[in-house]
């Protein structure tokens, strides 16, 4: 049987990682892989995470399974973080939630849940969107449709085109939105636009499906949750997938959460039972360690404060890198406007260069970014900024 199998193309990001590792250029620079890096080029363990792990080492008393939904306290703390402790949907018990193996697990279980609700429902995703959205959702059999989102010429959200396209969506369809720090563009909806999308969902009977993988890395923990909280406050049903990989630095611990908001507590309980049935048939129980760290931090006043301060420092560093990048490019005198980078949010932006220019950066300078020109701004630092800017400008001037 196996002799007939053909090798599949490698994932572009994973392939980029392998090429970078094999590159012998001492000046090589990885700006493709989507992880936060500090000034030394490392992806550090947060001090608050270290403290939580030390406490767990002392207090953890078993390695028995946890429930398919994860622990009660983890889910409670994550609901409070995402929706706000006083949000009406928490008070009314309208949320079913489950800890999942990373944000990917949350997205896939959401797709399985959607299929169980109504196999005819489509999920509308932005163009562009995170590269793994379509494989994760489509792999569950969900019908994928796309709406225009990023204007590559104006370097912002083409909002009118987005709304016009979504007029073709049908009641019961799901609208996938990035809660903050849009990956790959960095271009986010503003509050007025969130309100307009909420009104469209209410009018057309669309169900929001929000992926919020970067809460706290855009404008702030509460500010980044504006769209989630507005829609939960206004609409009867929604799905929210979150990840602790970026804001807690728990990439390899695979810690995520899926929330289902329903019209009332009974519907939420019924939805939860459907979700847990799907979980049981896929991975049965989630891993514990990462969620235990998050639960410990969010339940301890001191650790929580320290974590928020560390997260704020990460956010401010990304914002300063964006500003510095624009200033240094502008200072070269190149006749091209990159000011949009400073106006965007999170780790990523499109440089707006061609695949051929991306290839030149890799070949001549050992600078690795994906073909779309998505650059991980958080992969830069003071020492490497001039090297990157000079290489970019040189490639642009050759064209």
Q: Quote the CA–CA distance of 324 and 337 in Å, as a whole number.
A: 14
Q: Give the active site residue among 124, 188, 224, 246.
A: 246
SS3 of residue 41 by DSSP: coil
Q: Is 130 labeled as catalytic in the residue annotation?
A: yes
> Is there a contact between 229 and 198 (Cβ–Cβ < 8 Å)?
no
Q: Quote the CA–CA distance of 348 and 184 in Å, as a whole number.
A: 6
Q: Quote the CA–CA distance of 38 and 334 in Å, as a whole number.
A: 28
Q: Quote the CA–CA distance of 380 and 39 in Å, as a whole number.
A: 8
Residue 2 DSSP class: G
- Quickly list H helices, 63-101: 72-83, 88-91
> Is there a contact between 148 and 127 (Cβ–Cβ < 8 Å)?
yes
Q: Is 246 labeled as catalytic in the residue annotation?
A: yes
Q: Give the active site residue among 211, 224, 278, 307.
A: 211
Beta bridge partners of 259: 97, 240
> Is there a contact between 181 and 346 (Cβ–Cβ < 8 Å)?
yes
SS3 of residue 125 by DSSP: strand
Q: Give the active site residue among 130, 188, 194, 307.
A: 130
- Catalytic positions, written as ranges: 130, 211, 246
């Amino acid at each position: 049987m196996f002799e007939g199998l053909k090798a599949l193309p490698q994932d572009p990001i994973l392939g980029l990682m392998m090429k970078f590792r094999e590159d012998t250029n001492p000046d090589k620079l990885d700006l493709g892989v989507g992880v936060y890096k500090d000034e030394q080029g490392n992806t550090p363990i947060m001090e608050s995470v270290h403290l939580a792990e030390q406490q767990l080492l002392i207090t953890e008393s078993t390695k028995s399974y946890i429930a398919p939904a994860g622990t009660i306290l983890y889910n409670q703390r994550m609901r409070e973080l995402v929706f706000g402790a006083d949000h009406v949907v928490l008070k009314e018990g309208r949320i079913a939630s489950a800890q999942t193996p990373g944000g990917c697990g949350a997205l896939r279980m959401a797709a399985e849940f959607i299929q169980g609700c109504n196999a005819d429902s489509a999920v509308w995703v932005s163009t562009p969107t995170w590269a793994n959205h379509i494989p994760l959702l489509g792999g569950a059999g969900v019908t994928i449709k796309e709406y225009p989102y990023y204007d590559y010429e104006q370097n912002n959200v083409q909002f009118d085109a987005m709304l016009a396209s979504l007029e073709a969506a049908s009641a019961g369809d799901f609208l996938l939105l990035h809660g903050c720090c849009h990956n790959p563009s960095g271009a986010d909806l503003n509050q007025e636009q969130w309100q307009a999308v909420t009104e469209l969902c209410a009018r057309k009977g669309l169900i929001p499906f929000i992926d919020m993988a970067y809460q706290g890395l855009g404008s702030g923990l509460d500010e980044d949750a504006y769209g989630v909280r507005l829609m939960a406050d206004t609409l009867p049903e929604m799905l929210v997938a979150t990840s602790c990989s970026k804001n807690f630095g728990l990439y390899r611990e695979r810690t995520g959460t899926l929330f289902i908001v329903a019209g009332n507590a009974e519907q939420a309980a019924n939805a939860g039972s459907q979700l847990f049935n799907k979980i049981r048939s896929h991975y049965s129980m989630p891993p514990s360690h990462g969620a235990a760290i998050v639960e410990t931090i969010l339940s301890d006043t001191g650790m929580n404060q320290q974590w928020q301060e560390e997260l704020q420092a990460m956010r401010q560093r990304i914002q300063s890198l964006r500003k510095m990048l624009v200033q240094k490019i502008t200072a070269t005198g190149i006749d091209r406007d990159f000011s949009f980078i400073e106006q965007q949010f999170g780790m990523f932006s499109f440089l707006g260069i061609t695949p051929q220019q991306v290839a030149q950066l890799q070949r001549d300078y050992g600078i690795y970014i994906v073909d779309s020109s998505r650059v991980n701004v958080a992969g830069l630092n003071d020492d490497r900024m001039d090297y990157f800017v000079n290489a970019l400008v040189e490639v642009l001037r050759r064209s």
